[in-house]
Amino acid sequence: MLALMLTAVEGLFFTMSECVRLYALLDVATGYTTEAVESCFSEYNSYLWDKYHILGMDMAYGMTSVSDEYLRNRLCSFANENSNPDGNINMLRLNADFAQVNYTLLTDKGASAVIAQGVEAYEAGLLKNIYKKATEHISSDEMDVGSLVGGGASALDSARADANAARQRAIDNGEEDIPPQPYEVEDDPINAYKALREMVEYGMLYQGLPASAELSTAIINSDEQVSKRSLHAGNKDSFSAGLVDSEIYTRYLMSEYSCFTNDRNHDGLQYEVEYVICGQDSDESNLASVMGKILLIREGVNVLAILSDPYLMGQAESMATALCAAVFAPHLVAVVTPAVVAAWAYVESVLEIRAIMSGDKVAITKNSSNWNSDLFHLSGCLSQGVKAVNVEGGIGYEEYLSTFLIAQAATNTSQMGLRSCDVMENALHTQMGYENVRLDNMITNMDTTINYSANQLFLSFVYIPGIGLDGYQIKKSDSIDYCCK
CA angle 301, 305, 310 (to 5 degrees): 170
445 located within any domain: no
Pairwise CA distance, residues 106 & 87, whole Å: 40
User: Does position 209 have pLDDT exceeding 90, yes or no?
Assistant: no
Q: What count of residues does the chain have?
A: 485
pLDDT for 343 equals: 93
User: Does position 33 have pLDDT exceeding 80, yes or no?
Assistant: yes
Task: List the single range of 158-167, 194-203, 317-326, 327-336 with lowest mean pLDDT.
Answer: 158-167
Which among 65-69, 271-275, 457-461 has the top mean pLDDT?
Answer: 271-275
Query: How many structural domains are present in the chain?
Result: 1
Which residues 6+ apart lie within 8 Å of 249 measured at CB? 115, 118, 119, 122, 241, 409, 416, 417
Pairwise CA distance, residues 455 & 458, whole Å: 10
* Average pLDDT of the residues in 120-134: 51
37 located within any domain: no
459 located within any domain: no
448 located within any domain: no
Within 10 Å of residue 244's Cβ, how many Cβ atoms? 10
User: Does position 464 have pLDDT exceeding 70, yes or no?
Assistant: no
289 located within any domain: yes
User: Does position 127 have pLDDT exceeding 60, yes or no?
Assistant: no
User: Does position 8 have pLDDT exceeding 90, yes or no?
Assistant: no
Comparing 134 with 228, the larger pLDDT belongs to 228
* Average pLDDT of the residues in 385-397: 92
462 located within any domain: no
33 located within any domain: no
pLDDT for 124 equals: 65
State which residues form the domain around 410. 135-426
* Average pLDDT of the residues in 87-115: 82
Q: pLDDT (tens digit, 9 = 90+) per residue, 336-361?
A: 999 999 999 999 999 999 999 999 99
Task: List the single range of 12-26, 309-323, 454-468 with lowest mean pLDDT.
Answer: 454-468
User: What's the predicted TM-score (pTM) here?
Assistant: 0.82
168 located within any domain: yes
Positive or negative, the CA dihedral 360, 365, 367, 373 is positive
User: Does position 130 have pLDDT exceeding 80, yes or no?
Assistant: no
pLDDT for 274 equals: 96
Q: pLDDT (tens digit, 9 = 90+) per residue, 231-267?
A: 888 888 776 666 667 788 899 999 999 999 999 999 9
Q: pLDDT (tens digit, 9 = 90+) per residue, 278-325?
A: 999 999 999 999 999 999 999 999 999 999 999 999 999 999 999 999
pLDDT for 286 equals: 95
